[in-house]
Structure 1
Amino acid sequence: MLCYRNHSSVTEFILTGFAGLHQEYYGLVSAVLFFVYLVTLIANATVIFLFATNRSLHKPMYYIILNLSVCDILFSTTTLPKIISRYWFRSGSISFTACFIQMYFVHYLGSVNSFILFQMALDRYLAICYPFRYSLVLTKSNILILSITAWIISKAFPLMMVIRAYPLPYCASNIITHCFCDHIGITVLACTDRTPYATPAFTAAMVTLLGPLAFIIFSYCSILIAVYKIANVQGRLKSLSTCSTQLIIISLYFLPRCFVYLASVVGITFSADVRIVIIMLYSLAPPMINPLIYCLRAKDMRESLLKQFCKRIVPRKAQVAAISNS
């Protein structure tokens, strides 16, 4: 009963961030995190702007990239502002309810991201293994249905985790050793056995992560087999180049996560700070890097970006020339 009475006294949680970080580095860390957030917003907003202003990008693959950019902006906005304020303004507290709301969106947007990468793999699988059926199967309407489905079904597991974790008695410490609220970080603070809550959450995470990953591995193995059957070497290289952009993006998302999960299974342990750094890298680096990969590797995206850049440079040169002639 004591634990349940103390539950009401926990009105907020404290995010420690990088627990071993000295105060003299707080300004530097907040500046780096703010830079990451700013670049993420600008880069992904640029992708959305290019898609909205160029009809040449209204293709299935770019509809998928559009969803990924929106998801990346939302995820970064969910996680980064709070931890930036932790180091910038020395404000690491977050209200009890706000922490669970953040937890929900962290896991929800992570699930959406996983299903979007599944769509990416499906796009390349159909394009290379079944090129004559590609335009019939992956129509704009079908991509729209797949995208809406990804955003809807991803709500189930995170909502279940929040509903089960919110009523728990929190009578232990209210300090979360992390940069944002997640299921493990919160439930370890409950003064009750967390096994009944941790096991379903872990199963949900595995289904969300390994389900799409299993298809991704299958699809790229099928792609390699299909490419190997192409007699023309130039044709092989062209087919592989169309996959390279998405394969890099998928690797950035899945490989670090799989490493962390496998490390915990085989008994490899990390210090709290190292673990947080790894999680922050695989959570925040891909949303910042992905748009740069699109613009450098995807031909249509690169051409659209150059076209927008030239539109703004040419009028300025014309204005300068007119002023100089006058």
Structure 2
Amino acid sequence: MLVNLTRQDHFTLLGFPGLHPQYYGPVSAVMFFVYIAIGFGNIFILVFVMCEKKIQKPRYLIFCHLALSDLTFGTVTLPKIIAKYWFGNSLISFYGCFVQMFFVHYLGSVQSFNLMVMALDRFISVCLPMRYPVLISNTVVSVLCGISWFIPLPIMITIVLQAVFLPFCKSNVIAQCYCDRMSIVTQACAENIVSLNTISLSLAMFCLLLPLAFILFSYTSIIVVIMKMTNAKGRRKTFSTCTSQILITCLFYLPRCFVYFSNFKGFFYSLDLRILLIMLYSMLPAAVNPVIYCFKTQDIKQSLLMKLCPLFIHSPKLVNIVTCLKPE
């Protein structure tokens, strides 16, 4: 039996397969709002940290790297799926799909390694406070974050090159809102697909599980140190310096771990629910993280308060808006 190995010239993004056409407008509007929130929030963090000299500290430089990867991820993925539901344009070129696939997995890996740098920063700050000024500086953090951007680069290039030269003989429909490796490779018909999947999965797990193992070690050590403190006020103050980082890390890892674990245990759910879960854990952190940066870190809250107070000082009705930014 001959198999048609004709090279595809485009793919079709399926999006949410069970979505009724009457909901295309509201769904595209919601995703557009999410994209605006991702863009505005993360650009605000980047500009605010660059312009506010007194908060240009290691932890806030890490926030900038996280914001940059979140902003890029949203820009790479959301416009195409918004165009599908808003303008009916669901086609993406063959190589354009692989470019999108590269950035989807690359930026996720960069985020994972940057979260590891953030955990290292908090670990040294809490567990080795006397050594913190020596071990952690803006230069050190910049180098570590630069390494976080570099390490996944050859790995993701390898994964993409493995996929781009596969023979595609099945449907050209991508059962997802953006191009990812799993959705693309299911359309291939190569004999060595199992071995390629094993190699790609191993490389992907390296980018995900290595940082996660260090992050768990770091925050476990931090919690142990905090619990050993005899002063209750000191415990609260020390823990408050880590709450934003813990929230950001949980938003990134917990949904992913749930999806991976459910797949491993053989728990299957509908394609629509799977796509919805993936979109939630891909986009929600990017939209929510800037809010966490602003309202869960004392320096940014204080800086915002100083900027906003002159604007609202003559408007009593808006005083409560400013008051909510005041640090405890």
User: What TM-score, normalized by structure 2, do the two folds share?
Assistant: 0.93
Contact 1:245 1:298 survives alignment (8 Å): yes
Aligned residue identity for 2:52: N
Q: Distance in 1 between matches of 2:310 and 2:41?
A: 19
**Which residue pairs with 2:270 in the alignment?**
271
- Could you say what the CA RMSD is over the residues aligned between the two structures, in angstroms? 1.7
| 2:109 aligned residue (108, 111, 121) | 111
Q: Write out per-residue CA displacement over residues 79-130 of structure 1, whole angstroms, 9 at most, x where no aligned residue.
A: 1000000100011100000000000000000000001110111111000000
The 10-residue stretch of structure 1 (74-83 or 297-306) with the greater mean CA deviation from structure 2 = 297-306
**Which residue pairs with 2:226 in the alignment?**
227
Q: Write out per-residue CA displacement over residues 228-263 of structure 1, whole angstroms, 9 at most, x where no aligned residue.
A: 221111111111111111100000000010111111
| 1:13 aligned residue (8, 11, 14) | 11
Matching of residue 213 in structure 1 with residue 208 in structure 2: no
Q: Distance in 1 between matches of 2:155 and 2:310?
A: 46
Q: Distance in 1 between matches of 2:310 and 2:50?
A: 16
Matching of residue 93 in structure 1 with residue 91 in structure 2: yes
- Aligned pairs for 1:131-146 within 5 A: 131-146=129-144
**Which residue pairs with 1:178 in the alignment?**
176
Q: Write out per-residue CA displacement over residues 176-221 of structure 1, whole angstroms, 9 at most, x where no aligned residue.
A: 1100000001010012242122111111121111111101111111
**Which residue pairs with 1:46 in the alignment?**
44
Contact 1:3 1:170 survives alignment (8 Å): no
Deviation at 1:315, TM superposition (A): 11
- Aligned pairs for 1:221-300 within 5 A: 221-300=220-299
Matching of residue 149 in structure 1 with residue 158 in structure 2: no
Q: Distance in 2 between matches of 1:310 and 1:93?
A: 49
**Which residue pairs with 1:321 in the alignment?**
none
Deviation at 1:277, TM superposition (A): 0.4
Deviation at 1:308, TM superposition (A): 3.1
Deviation at 1:162, TM superposition (A): 0.7
Aligned residue identity for 2:288: I
Q: Distance in 1 between matches of 2:33 and 2:3?
A: 42
Deviation at 1:5, TM superposition (A): 4.5
Contact 1:3 1:169 survives alignment (8 Å): no
Q: Distance in 2 between matches of 1:120 and 1:63?
A: 10
Q: Distance in 2 between matches of 1:310 and 1:234?
A: 28
Deviation at 1:311, TM superposition (A): 5.4
List runs of 5+ in structure 2 lacking aligned partners.
316-328
**Which residue pairs with 1:130 in the alignment?**
128
Q: Distance in 2 between matches of 1:308 and 1:203?
A: 48
Secondary structure of the residue that 1:220 maps to in structure 2?
A: helix
Q: Distance in 1 between matches of 2:122 and 2:2?
A: 57
Secondary structure of the residue that 1:38 maps to in structure 2?
A: helix
**Which residue pairs with 1:69 in the alignment?**
67
Contact 2:38 2:74 survives alignment (8 Å): yes
Secondary structure of the residue that 1:6 maps to in structure 2?
A: coil
Deviation at 1:309, TM superposition (A): 3.0
Deviation at 1:3, TM superposition (A): 4.5
Secondary structure of the residue that 1:181 maps to in structure 2?
A: coil
User: What TM-score, normalized by structure 1, do the two folds share?
Assistant: 0.93
The 10-residue stretch of structure 1 (11-20 or 231-240) with the greater mean CA deviation from structure 2 = 231-240
Q: Distance in 2 between matches of 1:134 and 1:291?
A: 25
Identity of aligned residues (%): 43
Secondary structure of the residue that 2:92 maps to in structure 1?
A: strand
